[in-house]
Structure 1
């Protein structure tokens, strides 16, 4: 329980600091908000959060230099894991949208294709590169820090609650940028969709033994969404309940099913994935400062 108390205490402190900064920004009329989903506001939010996390982890002997050491030593393996999981996520999204198109809920926009230009292509590529940075940052915060802090050994229940609570933190913190109508369905559906998304990333990390793999899934799913939003090449018509009735696919039951499917495939193939992409266990042994848990034998039984 001490780990849960410490993480919630840290999050409460970060919340107070962010709230204070947000008040200053609003009173000063700066035109910037920490609730922005892009630009200076979003960068500012990470600039506030990351030093707190680094300082907390470093005091317990698990700072970023310690964590990144095996990834730096196995960069090619990490890059291969990222690429493989990115491709898997994108292919599954393509298949899902192809099925929705066959069912009449997605259509090709000839107008958007006619207006497609090199300028739009450059902006889209830039946005996709930003997605990679965002996926890296969020995975380092929510999986490499929060979930690993809660998952202090490889037993089932410790891992189970680390995934559940870590994903709940991931879900709730994303409401900071939610500006739509706060109806029960909107908030509940979004929270559940984000929780499933966080659980998918956490399961990917545990199953593969590489944070690069969860980054790949994260970047693939988010990048596909950004690509569609930037180009408008596909017209999405969520006219039935299982599509959520909104263009926010995180609230669509069919998306929840897709996330569960990806998690199931990843877990079912974990032994094969570990042969190719394993780098380190998704466990933070911070009770012994300066030491990282690196016993591959104990983690491959998860």
Structure 2
């Protein structure tokens, strides 16, 4: 019996590609750039299973095409790029990669917190430009992190992982979430707050919510106006959670001290004014970008595909109630 046909929309790390070639018949060899619309459509039409990424939009029109596809494994935790209702109606199983990128994304969140507070990117550019005249008492003074209030919007796996790391900085945690959460052993106190109260109270606000119609522009002009002028906004969730124009306006008017952004509204495009704001650290969507994490994400996709193609339930199937 021939192995199932697998379409992979983007080149994945070598160990994942090796396992995919061993287990399946590849529709084609993926490239390290986004596929053309025609290639993507053909892959979903002709393959038994597919791995797509967060940049691949799988909408109602695309899913209306005839297909033999049994499973679409999303190479991400979030799945806002997929019309879940349309896929379910078509009988296509949708899976994601939960848990595996929690620590890498939490680590990167802390990299951004420290970078914006201590002006790391500015300092690096200053030294590289050959402009540094030597140490001075008032040179590039930043903001303390230790002892401050960390506001976490969205207290799922990643939000909790960020909170646990704050214990080492003796920070008080306030969080906004639908459900209450108890800190683990050794963690500082976690206080649940309504979002407006959290924004008024926190010195650092970090976002960890999925992108849904309810969270689109969750942080806009009205919410930013509630924040302290000395506060920093960190986003490693999804770009459209923040109204980018409103954020730029707040930064330009110095109603906010700075921001650390790993995601943007229209990736890879971002608001042009962000480039010139020295109090902002910009990263190219690196949240899960460690080799071990990206390999594990791919292996989870393959495990889900192998299960469905052999008639078993997918370990990480996304249900319509989660959307």
Where on the TM-score scale, by shorter chain, does this alignment land: which range?
under 0.3
Structure with greater helix share of residues = 1
TM-score where L is the length of structure 2: 0.25
The higher relative CO (CA closer than 8 Å, separation ≥ 6) is in 1
Larger Rg: 2
TM-score where L is the length of structure 1: 0.27
